[in-house]
Amino acid sequence: MEEELLLVDPVTGAPVPVAPQALAAAPDPGDGPAVDSEIQQEMMETQTRPHETAAGLLDDVLAGRELADSLAKPQGARAVALAMSPLAVSPHTTDKPRYTAMLERFGTTAGTMVCGCHVHVGIESREEGVAVLDRIRIWLPVLLGLSANSPFAHGVDTGYASFRYVAWHQWQSAGPTDVFGSVEAYDAFENMLVDTGVILDHGMLYLDARLSRKQPTVEVRIADVCLDARDTVVLAAVVRALVDTAAEEWRAGVAPVAVPSAALRLASWQAALTGAGGRLPHPVHGRAGDAQQAVEALLAHVDRALAANGDGERVRRGIARILDTGGGAGVQRASFARNERLSDVIADAIAATHADRDPADGLVQHPSSGS
């Protein structure tokens, strides 16, 4: 798992460019999560180790958040799991040659400051990986809706549950893909995009899901960073079940559903607009529906894999919670509704990011909102 976190002033809630100073004090990761820089100095990325159990992953997600926060505090900042800053901000680009080149070439697009959540799942071969990408693509808008955690940006309610999705798609190569069918077709697609000269390199292939060029994994990148660490783990468990199910279908000769990428883009846009509680085209047939129906279809699709991985109860409990609260977007809007202050949204988000463990079930408790 990779979580991108904002670094904010705990009093004003404004993002602060302290990542370079904070990361200078980062310890050797050793046997635990790691932290790294991002394109903006107001952000920090946490990276967990690989895990086979959701409980072990939760431990690392929490530890990563606390590590980022402990590094930010001496710089007068807090690490918070918000997919966009609710307040207006002029980001400071991290001083690295590649980021400088992106800023020079792409202007204000490179100044976009958004925080995503990336799930890596191990694969046995690139052939299996491409087969997985072909079969999970129709389910990715549902994941976006469940993770939506960016309703506020530039000081206003954007009207979206995930305005991060809108902002992120200023990048030229972001979004869904068509069915590839083979590794050769996947490689040709990537090379064709790079060969246009529009983007710098393969690292700028910001697809909703892709083969990692650094690890033997499928990397699912469509989600907002989740406010609640429990939701992060639910997301990861669902992605693993999707990958397991897709690999099994591939081995059994089940063809992928050939929904065009243009239709998937519309579905993702709708998921970004209304999140976990609104409308959403059905993942399989693509006709108009609601998020509840889409989620039910997703759970039915991955039911066997969830059970085999021991994640069924955790995922169902977690998704029920997300649908009940509206997820991160719903929690943020509830915070704002108390006094119509974005400072409340950010203060509550800091508390939720670093909520206490519940010894009864090993999960994280949402703190109650203050007045």
- Name residue 363's beta-bridge partners: 358
Mean pLDDT, rounded, for 69-76 = 98
Q: 3-class DSSP state for residue 43?
A: strand
Please tell me which residue, 362 or 291, carries the higher pLDDT value: 291
Residue entry with tokens 């697009």: 109
| The model's pTM | 0.94
Looking at residue 28, its pLDDT comes to: 87
Alpha-carbon distance of 266 to 314, in angstroms, equals: 30
Q: How far apart are the first and last CA of the chain?
A: 34
Query: Which of these, 91, 67, 169, 183, lies nearest to 129 by C-alpha position?
Result: 183
Instruction: Average the pLDDT over each of 23-27, 108-112, 145-149 and give the range with the smallest value.
Output: 108-112
Q: What whole-number percentage of the chain has pLDDT above 90?
A: 90
Quick check: 371 pLDDT over 70?
A: no
pLDDT digits (tens, 9 = 90+) for 24-39: 999 987 888 999 999 9
Looking at residue 280, its pLDDT comes to: 95
CATH 3.30.590.20 for domain 2-359, yes or no, is: yes
Mean pLDDT, rounded, for 45-60 = 96
Query: Which of these, 313, 341, 261, 3, lies nearest to 147 by C-alpha position?
Result: 3
Kindly report the backbone phi and psi dihedral angles of residue 21, in degrees, each rounded to the nearest multiple of 5, phi listed first: -70, -40
Query: For residue 239, what are the contacts with CB-CB under 8 A and spacing of at least 6?
Result: 119, 121, 136, 143, 220
Domain boundaries, the chain: 2-359
Kindly report the backbone phi and psi dihedral angles of residue 227, in degrees, each rounded to the nearest multiple of 5, phi listed first: -65, -45
- Per the rule left: phi > 0, alpha: psi between -120 and 50, beta: everything else, 97 is alpha
